[in-house]
């Protein structure tokens, strides 16, 4: 047990930069970042045995854990804008609650839900058609929740250029989801 | 298509299709489940893109390919990528900041070198100033590599990495060895192949080090930028291209003093030459003053040769007129076919019977513009060069001139005439007349070349008929009857 703990601590030490990198834009408040980091370290320690290298990379798993943990942390601190629908999943990294919440909306008829499900399927296909840079921008914005300023700085783009690209990406996705007839 | 699909398609543009806000909600739901996260997790950090830019830039600056202007294009793109990469890293530590400053100096330096290459000044600098420029460039590169390597090392140290490496050290040593080999003009294959192998190893090593640094990369803050990399790159390239076009135009374009074409006279001389066989079509194109001394002509002989290109871009003739006083006057008449002349500059190198010296020469070009015919006088300059042929030193003589036809002119044609004199007791049985036309197709020609090419050696070494250059030849050896 101690051996596992020390190896997890080594992982946390090595990937400290990654964890802070993911936490910081989600939590926002610099005074809370260290607290959030501690919480996430605990989550990692608790769930590290669930990590399966065959299912994905360690970086990917840590990214999911840190991101969802930071969202929960933010939600618990009443950061309602940031903490939308993303609590921890079964493997410590999932996003089941958001989906459950959406699925539980009462004013949707079964047909609406089916169409919504179809939309998700179309979105998956549309996402696969994005180029590498577009995918990175989208992930940074909607998964890593980075600011336009941060995205721009790291990709060598001005804030305006990032906003323009995001706008075009969304248009592209809507067009692909809606077919040729959609304007 | 299922019924559901049809209903969904029918719902396009209606509430069923997500609007922007709904799309964002869908994306937020979809992304956490997406395999994209694992795929891109290692690529999303503030360090990776910037370091990739710097490494790619450095690779491009070390590649020298003398093909399709790549020897200029690759370093320009290379220094720009390096600078854009360093721009992101500049707030990482003081070495990165220094590297960013040096990379900007490199951008300026490479640009100035490129612009200088489009002027005669770089050639005029001579060997030692040229060497100094090269060494200064090498010093700049080494200094940059040092700062970049130290920056990475320090970033590793700040991230509590054990024994952080300085990955650029081997590249610096490699650069020094290559520069030393260039200075001693080393041409051996074995060492060259070893250097290429070392270069490939180094690049792999640097990439490996960059991968090692992915945990470090998250601690390097990316500096915000005001202008996007694409716009900076495009602006820089557009400015360079515009400057190159301007320099090429300024140094090559050779407008001549335009005159109206005078009315024809010298009817008797023309009739006499026509009787001797001078073709009327050619006679009509020659000015009176160039025919005035041909009244005692005793023979006219022709040689017809077009340029040796399969797709004829020029046509011309060589006519030699023998005079009673022992002079022989040659006319090379020429006509450019559609679009064959240069918008930048045309030039000619006239060679004549070996061992003879031209005692006079004249060049005229003609063209029409707005329905009117114009002409201009082409100044010809005599050249003489010693040539060693099988151990014997002889003098090679030729005439050279350059000219530019005005933009939007048509019907470009002209003639060159030169005359030689028989020595006492000599009876030349033929004359050799060779007109080598060179033109620059532009609008960018690099490096700057003195036109016309001064020797056959230059012509070959400059890439005869290569990018941005074109040549034609009108060559004739009219034989006089015994």
> The whole model's pTM is what?
0.79
Q: pLDDT averaged over chain B?
A: 82
Mean pLDDT in residue range B216-239: 88
Specify burial of residue B203 (Cβ count, 10 A radius: 0-12, 13-18, 19+).
middle
Closest Cα partner for B27 from A144, A148, A21? A144
Average the pLDDT over B458-462 and give the result.
41
Report, as an integer, the average pLDDT of B328-346: 83
- Interchain pair B38, A56: CB under 8 A: yes
Question: What is the 3 state secondary structure string of chain B?
Answer: CCHHHHHHHHCCCCCCCCCHHHHHHHHHHHHHHCCHHHHHCCCCCCCHHHHHHHHHHHHHHHCCCCCCCHHHHHHHHHHHHHHHHHHHHCCCCHHHHHHHHHHHHHHHHHHHHHHHHCCCHHHHCCHHHHHHHHHHHHHHHHHHHHHHHHHHHHHHHHCCCCCCCCCCHHHHHHHHHHHHHHHCCCCCHHHHHHHHHHHHHHHHHHHHHHHHCHHHHCCCCCCCCCCCHHHHHHHHHHHHHHHHHHHHHHHHCCECCEEECCCCCCHHHHHHHHHHCCCHHHHCCCCHHHHHHHCCEEEEEEEECCCCCCCCCEEEEEEEEEECCCEEEEEEEEEECCCCCCCCEEEEEEEECCCCCCCEEEEEEEEEECCEEEEEEECCEEEEEEEEECCEEEEEEEEEEEEECCCCCEEEEEEEEEEEECCCCCCCCECCEEEEEEEECCCCCCCCCCCCCCCHHHHHHCCCCCCCEEEEEEEECCECCC
Q: Mean pLDDT, to the nearest integer, of B271-288?
A: 90
Minimum distance, in Å, between the CA of residue B234 and any CA atom of chain A? 14
| Least Cα separation, residue B461 to chain A (angstroms) | 42
Q: How far apart are CA B280 and CA B302, in angstroms?
A: 13
Q: Give the chain B residue whose CA is nearest to the CA of A140.
A: B44
pLDDT for the residue B18: 63
Q: Report pLDDT for B180.
A: 85
Q: Do A21 and B17 touch (CB under 8 A)?
A: no
Name which of B40, B45, B159 to mutate to probe chain A: the one with the most chain A Cβ atoms within 10 A of its Cβ: B40
Angle (CA) B63 B65 B66, round 5°: 150
Is this complex's ipTM strictly greater than 0.90?
no
Q: Per the CB < 8 Å rule, is B31 touching A143?
A: yes
How far off is chain B from A160, nearest CA to CA, in Å?
9
B146 pLDDT band (50/70/90 cuts)?
very high
Q: Which of B12, B28, B32 lies at the smallest CB-CB distance from A94?
A: B32
What does chain A look like in DSSP terms, one character per residue? -HHHHHHHHHHHHHTHHHHHHHHHHHH--HHHHHHHHHHHHHHHHHHGGG--TTTS-HHHHHHHHHHHHHHHHHHHTT-TTT-SS----TTSS--HHHHHHHHT-TT--HHHHHHHHHHHHHHHHHHHTS-HHHHHHHHHHHTS---HHHHHHHHT--HHHHHHHHHHHHHHHHHHHH-TT--
Nearest CA in chain B to A161: B228
Angle (CA) A105 A140 A33, round 5°: 90
Q: Per-residue pLDDT for B14 more than 50?
A: no
CB B303 within 8 A of CB B333: no
pLDDT score of B83 more than 90: yes
Q: Whole-angstrom Cα distance, residue B171 to residue B144?
A: 11
Distance from CA of B458 to the nearest CA of A (A): 45
CB contact under 8 A, A99 and B17: no
pLDDT at B219: 77
Q: Measure in Å the smallest separation between the Cα of A66 and chain B Cα atoms.
A: 12
B43/A136 CB distance under 8 A: yes
Predicted pLDDT at B34 = 81
Higher pLDDT, A165 or B218: A165
Contact residues for B268 (Cβ-Cβ < 8 A; gap 6+): B295
pLDDT number for residue B3? 54
**pLDDT reported for residue B107:** 95
B238 vs A: CB within 8 A? no
**What share of chain B has pLDDT > 90, as a percent?**
26
Higher pLDDT, B159 or A20: A20
Nearest-CA residue of chain B relative to A114? B4
Residues of chain A with pLDDT under 50: 79-106, 180-183
Q: Does B10 touch chain A (CB under 8 A)?
A: no
Dig out the tokens for B123 from the structure: 């050639």
Q: Is residue B468 pLDDT above 90, yes or no?
A: no
Point out the residue among B37, B218, B227 whose CB comes nearest to the CB of A21.
B218
Smallest Cβ distance to A57: which of B11, B42, B215?
B42
Q: Above pLDDT 70, what percent of chain B?
A: 87
Task: Kindly report which listed range (A20-34, B139-153, B183-197, B368-382) carries the lowest average pLDDT score.
Answer: B183-197
Scanning every residue of chain A, which has its alpha carbon at the shortest distance from the alpha carbon of B9? A178
Report the range of poorest mean pLDDT among A2-16, B437-451, B452-466: B452-466
Distance CA A76, CA A81 (A): 12
pLDDT band for B368, please (50, 70, 90 cuts): very high
* Pair A170, A119: CB distance under 8 Å: no
Q: At B482, is the pLDDT very low, low, confident or very high (cuts 50, 70, 90)?
A: low
Q: How many angstroms separate the CA atoms of B164 and B216, rounded?
A: 10
What's the confidence (pLDDT) of residue B304?
65
Q: What is the pLDDT of residue B13?
A: 42
Per-residue confidence band for B17, with pLDDT thresholds at 50, 70 and 90: low
Q: A115 and B11 in contact by Cβ < 8 A? A: yes
Inform me whether the C-beta atom of residue B226 falls under 8 Å from chain A C-beta atoms. Answer: yes
- A77 min Cα distance to partner chain B (Å): 20
Residue B458 has pLDDT above 50, yes or no: no
- The CA–CA distances, whole Å, from B157 to A128, B7, B30, B151, B270 equal 39, 60, 38, 10, 91
> pLDDT band at B80, cuts 50/70/90?
very high
Lowest mean pLDDT among B151-165, B244-258, B377-391: B151-165
């Amino acid at each position: 047990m101690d051996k596992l703990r020390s190896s997890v601590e080594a992982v946390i030490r090595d990937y400290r930069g990654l964890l802070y990198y993911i936490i910081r834009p989600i939590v926002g408040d610099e005074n809370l970042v260290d607290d959030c980091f501690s919480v996430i370290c605990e989550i990692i320690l608790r769930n590290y045995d669930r990590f399966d290298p065959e299912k994905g990379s360690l970086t990917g798993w840590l990214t999911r854990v840190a991101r969802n943990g930071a969202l929960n942390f933010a939600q618990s601190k009443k950061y309602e804008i940031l903490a939308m629908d993303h609590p921890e999943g079964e493997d410590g990294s999932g996003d089941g609650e958001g989906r459950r919440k959406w699925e539980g909306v009462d004013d949707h008829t079964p047909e609406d839900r089916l169409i919504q499900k179809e939309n998700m399927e179309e979105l998956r296909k549309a996402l696969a058609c994005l180029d590498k840079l577009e995918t990175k921008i989208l992930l940074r914005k909607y998964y890593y929740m980075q600011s336009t300023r941060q995205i721009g700085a790291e990709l060598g783009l001005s804030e305006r250029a990032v906003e323009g690209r995001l706008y075009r990406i969304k248009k592209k996705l809507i067009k692909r989801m809606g077919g040729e007839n959609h304007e | 298509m299922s019924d559901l699909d049809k209903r969904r398609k029918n719902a396009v543009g209606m509430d069923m299709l997500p609007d922007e806000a709904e799309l964002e909600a869908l994306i937020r739901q979809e992304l956490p489940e997406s395999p994209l996260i694992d795929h891109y997790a290692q690529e999303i950090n503030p360090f990776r893109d910037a370091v990739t830019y710097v490494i790619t830039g450095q690779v491009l600056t070390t590649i020298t390919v003398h093909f399709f202007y790549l020897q200029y294009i690759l370093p320009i793109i290379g220094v720009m990528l390096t600078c854009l990469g360093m721009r992101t890293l500049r707030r990482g530590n003081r070495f990165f900041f220094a590297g960013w400053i040096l990379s900007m100096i490199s951008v300026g330096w490479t640009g100035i070198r490129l612009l200088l290459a489009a002027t005669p000044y770089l050639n005029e600098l001579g060997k030692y100033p040229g060497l100094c420029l090269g060494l200064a460039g090498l010093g700049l590169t080494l200094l940059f590599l040092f700062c970049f390597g130290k920056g990475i090392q320090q970033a590793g140290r700040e991230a509590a990495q054990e024994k952080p490496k300085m990955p650029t050290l081997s590249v610096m040593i490699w650069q020094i060895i290559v520069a030393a080999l260039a200075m001693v003009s080393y041409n051996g294959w074995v060492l060259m192949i070893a250097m290429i192998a070392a270069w490939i190893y180094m690049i792999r090593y640097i990439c490996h080090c960059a991968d090692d640094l992915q945990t470090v990369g998250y601690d390097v803050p990316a500096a915000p930028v005001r202008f996007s990399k694409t716009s900076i790159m495009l602006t820089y390239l557009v400015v360079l291209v515009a400057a190159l076009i301007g320099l090429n135009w300024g140094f090559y374009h050779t407008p001549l003093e335009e005159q109206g074409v005078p009315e024809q006279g010298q009817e008797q001389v023309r009739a006499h030459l026509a009787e001797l066989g001078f073709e009327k079509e050619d006679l009509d194109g020659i000015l009176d003053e160039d025919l005035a001394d041909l009244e005692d002509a005793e023979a006219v002989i022709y040689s017809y040769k077009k340029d040796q290109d399969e797709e004829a871009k020029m046509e011309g003739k060589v006519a030699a007129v023998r005079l009673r006083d022992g002079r022989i006057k040659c006319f090379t008449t020429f006509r450019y076919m559609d679009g064959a002349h240069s918008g930048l500059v045309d030039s000619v190198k006239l060679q004549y019977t070996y061992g003879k010296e031209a005692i006079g020469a004249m060049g005229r070009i003609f063209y029409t513009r707005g329905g009117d015919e114009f002409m201009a006088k082409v100044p010809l300059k005599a050249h003489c060069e010693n040539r060693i042929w099988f151990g014997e030193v002889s003098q090679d003589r030729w005439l050279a001139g350059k000219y530019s036809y005005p933009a939007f002119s048509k019907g470009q044609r002209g003639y060159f005439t030169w005359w030689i004199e028989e020595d006492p007791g000599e009876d030349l049985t033929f004359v050799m007349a060779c007109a080598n036309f060179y033109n620059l197709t532009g609008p960018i020609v690099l490096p700057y070349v003195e036109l016309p090419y001064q020797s056959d050696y230059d012509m070959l070494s400059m890439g005869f008929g290569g990018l941005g250059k074109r040549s034609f030849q009108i060559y004739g050896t009219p034989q006089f009857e015994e």
